[in-house]
Amino acid sequence: MKLLVTGGAGFIGANFVRRTLATRPEAEVTVLDALTYAGSLGTLADIADQVVFVKGDVADEAVVDELVRQSEAVVHFAAETHNDNALVNPGAFVRSNIVGSFVLLEAVRRHGVRLHQVSTDEVYGDLALGEDRRFLEGDAFNPSSPYSASKAGGDLLLRAWVRSFGVEATVSHCTNNFGPWQHVEKFIPRQITNLLVGGSVKVYGDGKHVRDWIHVDDHNDAVWAILDKGEPGRTYHIGAGNEQGNLAVAQLLCELTGADPDRIELVLDRPGHDRRYALDASRLTAELGWSPRKTDFRAALGETVDWYRAHQDWWGAEKSGVEAQYARREHGARG
Ligand code: NAD
Ligand code: TYD
């Protein structure tokens, strides 16, 4: 199969490419990635001879048209993904996440190519702490941040292109991912690397916010289940039913690195910070037979800590710049 993977030099996309090469020797993979601050060729260095890499923007019609024309299926990961950045520069999110999806949808429509779009649980907005409910496919989108609104925008376009033009497309909404190759701006890698360089764990607000964590390999296995057996036009939730409070994750990371929990610091909250995300993913299990495998959170997080310990060459150069950016924002917000 000739597969186009957008955003394949980023966290989830690069893990997807690796897993695809390992499990689907027949796949011919082309990666389209703009190599923003979040993507790097270093992430694909050891498999560079097994993929075709094209540096380009998903919102660039000419590049996308040519690549889609040559493909049998497209898996669309490329996006601006960090909520804290969306509060500073939302325009980049509108362009990559909404215009990018539009350009891809038009290309798959022209060439009759299958598309799977990777989206987030954040399009539904948040739940209250302790509320006995998880989001279901079909719940209304109610995004609270520029990031989640831009992802919801791309997803709404996809629904309309399925209904109006009959494009062969699916979309999945997944919960928060963790695992190797995740940028050090994100919660788990930020705190692991803070601990590894002797810094403190920075938890926003009261630390009681809840996220539903899934290992990136489980996410990518689910994407393959959808590509193999999913019904075009259908939406699938991907989640492992693993809700954790941020403070609890911070404490676990201290334990796993042998750090004193007094290194956890409550810092200024994120504006508009969503309280709780939780998804019901039973459709995917019932219809496509997928279920998560890395369900021992402590063990999987421990493997992730070991990975960051062993790959300082990959994240070390980014670390101080990212922390300086966080410090500037906190300083600016406090005035
Ligand atoms: P990431 O930020 O690590 O990687 C994004 C990649 O996309 C980078 O390589 C970047 O260079 C590339 N990119 C950004 N804008 C582009 C553009 N305009 N054209 C081409 N390439 C561009 O993100 P990630 O965490 O790997 O997320 C991948 C996808 O999964 C996103 O669509 C995201 O919304 C979705 N998702 C992420 C999570 C999570 O927890 N990380 C959870 C659910 C869904
Ligand atoms: P993040 O990894 O940014 O993912 P998302 O905003 O998409 O859920 O953050 C995960 C949770 O951790 C979220 O509740 C915000 C919080 N957080 C912190 O407490 N401290 C941090 O330094 C970061 C980056 C996030």
For residue 87, being part of any structural domain is answered with: yes
pLDDT at 335: 63
Distance CA 38, CA 72 (A): 27
For the Cβ of 176 lying below 6 angstroms from any atom of ligand 2, the answer is: yes
**Cα 150 to ligand 1 centre (Å):** 13
pLDDT at 71: 98
Nearest atom within ligand 1 for CA of residue 43? 9
pLDDT at 9: 98
Nearest atom within ligand 1 for CA of residue 82? 2
Give the tokens for residue 136: 């279901």
Query: Which of 5, 12, 18 to mutate to test ligand 1, by most ligand atoms within 8 A of the CB atom?
Result: 12
**Cα 282 to ligand 2 centre (Å):** 26
Q: Are strands 264-267 and 28-33 parallel, antiparallel or unpaired?
A: unpaired
Cα–Cα distances in angstroms (integers) from residue 276 to residues 83, 208, 245, 326, in the given order: 15, 9, 9, 23
pLDDT at 332: 83
DSSP 43: G
Nearest atom within ligand 1 for CA of residue 181? 3
Question: What single string gives the DSSP state of each residue in 181-248?
Answer: T--TTSHHHHHHHHHHTT--EEEETTS--EEEEEEHHHHHHHHHHHHHHPPTT-EEEE----EEEHHH
- By alpha-carbon position, which residue is closest to atom 25 of ligand 2? 187
pLDDT at 75: 98
For residue 153, being part of any structural domain is answered with: yes
**Cα 300 to ligand 1 centre (Å):** 22
For residue 316, being part of any structural domain is answered with: no
Give the tokens for residue 272: 């508009």
For residue 312, being part of any structural domain is answered with: no
For residue 250, being part of any structural domain is answered with: no
Give the tokens for residue 51: 């993929």
Q: Count the domains in the chain.
A: 1
Note the pLDDT tens digit of each residue in 276-326. Answer: 999 999 999 999 999 999 999 999 999 999 999 999 999 999 999 999 999
CATH number at residue 129: 3.40.50.720
For residue 332, being part of any structural domain is answered with: no
For residue 218, being part of any structural domain is answered with: yes
C-beta atoms surrounding 317 within 10 Å: 11
For residue 305, being part of any structural domain is answered with: no
Ligand nearest to the CA of 327: 2
For the chain, residues with pLDDT lower than 50 are none
β-bridge partners, 24: none
- Domain, as residue range, for 153: 2-178+214-238
